[in-house]
Amino acid sequence: MTLWYYEKNGTRSDSITEAEMITFISQGGLSSTSLLWCEGMDNWQPLAQTLLAVHLPQRSVTPPPLPPVLPSLSGTGTIPSNINNVLVYTLALSPLIGLLLRAFLLGLSGVPEEYMDSAITSSEYWYVPLLLTVGLSYLDAWKLKQAGIDTRQFSNITWLVPVWLWKRAQLLKHKPVCFWIWIASFVLTLCATAS
């Protein structure tokens, strides 16, 4: 009959039989790192490295916790914290960026500098700021979808940029700062292009 000793919390136990040791291990009395010794072993060894390791209780495999609830169409639930707002601030400034891009394109097309003011107020390249603004709006909607936010309820109004910015702020429970920046940028663009 083999007598076993084990270590628990830094204290050596009295000797117990192999059958008692198997019962003790099976009931979770020892962990895989608990030290064991019996006659014939040179040193104390972790339970996991002995023949008795087969009697360790099998750990149940539990799945990781569920991810946080993503916002629904109505905007309820928690908001992921990994949303990057750089794009939406660029979108908010897109009327001014579009105006600068339009002036740049006019310069590339050979408009002399002294005629640049009248060229900007003309209808040449009028679509550049529009394409930039609407394109950034759709890109922002796509990025939100990639982050797991359901924007289907108002995806048909993404091209209406101020409405999109307002709805986005409501959905993400943000203040509508980008909406007001876009309005100010748009008004400044109108003032700059007024003849």
The structural domain count of the chain equals: 2
pLDDT, tens digit, for every residue of 126-158?
Answer: 888 899 999 999 999 898 888 888 888 877 888
Same domain, 19 and 93: no
User: What average pLDDT does this structure show over 111-118?
Assistant: 77
pLDDT at 162: 93
Residue 167 domain boundaries: 86-193
> CB of 99 within 8 A of CB of 192?
yes
pLDDT at 87: 92
pLDDT at 114: 76
Same domain, 92 and 185: yes
Report whether pLDDT(164) > 70: yes
Which carries the bigger pLDDT value, residue 41 or residue 113? 41
pLDDT at 73: 40
Report whether pLDDT(36) > 60: yes
Same domain, 185 and 91: yes
Residue 22 domain-assigned?
Answer: yes
Same domain, 92 and 178: yes
Judging by beta carbons within 10 Å of its beta carbon (0-12, 13-18, 19+), is residue 14 exposed, middle or buried?
Answer: exposed
Number of CB atoms found within 10 A of residue 91's CB: 28
pLDDT at 1: 75
User: What average pLDDT does this structure show over 34-43?
Assistant: 90
Total-model pTM: 0.56
Residue 78 domain-assigned?
Answer: no
pLDDT, tens digit, for every residue of 19-33?
Answer: 999 898 888 888 888
DSSP string, 2-26: -EEEEEETTEEPPPEEHHHHHHHHH
Strands (E), the chain: 3-8, 11-12, 16-17, 35-38, 45-46
Average pLDDT, the chain: 84
Is the Cα dihedral 97, 99, 101, 104 positive or negative? negative
pLDDT at 69: 53
User: What average pLDDT does this structure show over 34-48?
Assistant: 90
Same domain, 101 and 156: yes
> CB of 138 within 8 A of CB of 147?
no
pLDDT, tens digit, for every residue of 69-107?
Answer: 544 444 445 566 667 889 999 999 999 999 999 888 888
- Could you tell me the pLDDT band of residue 60, with boundaries at 50, 70 and 90? low
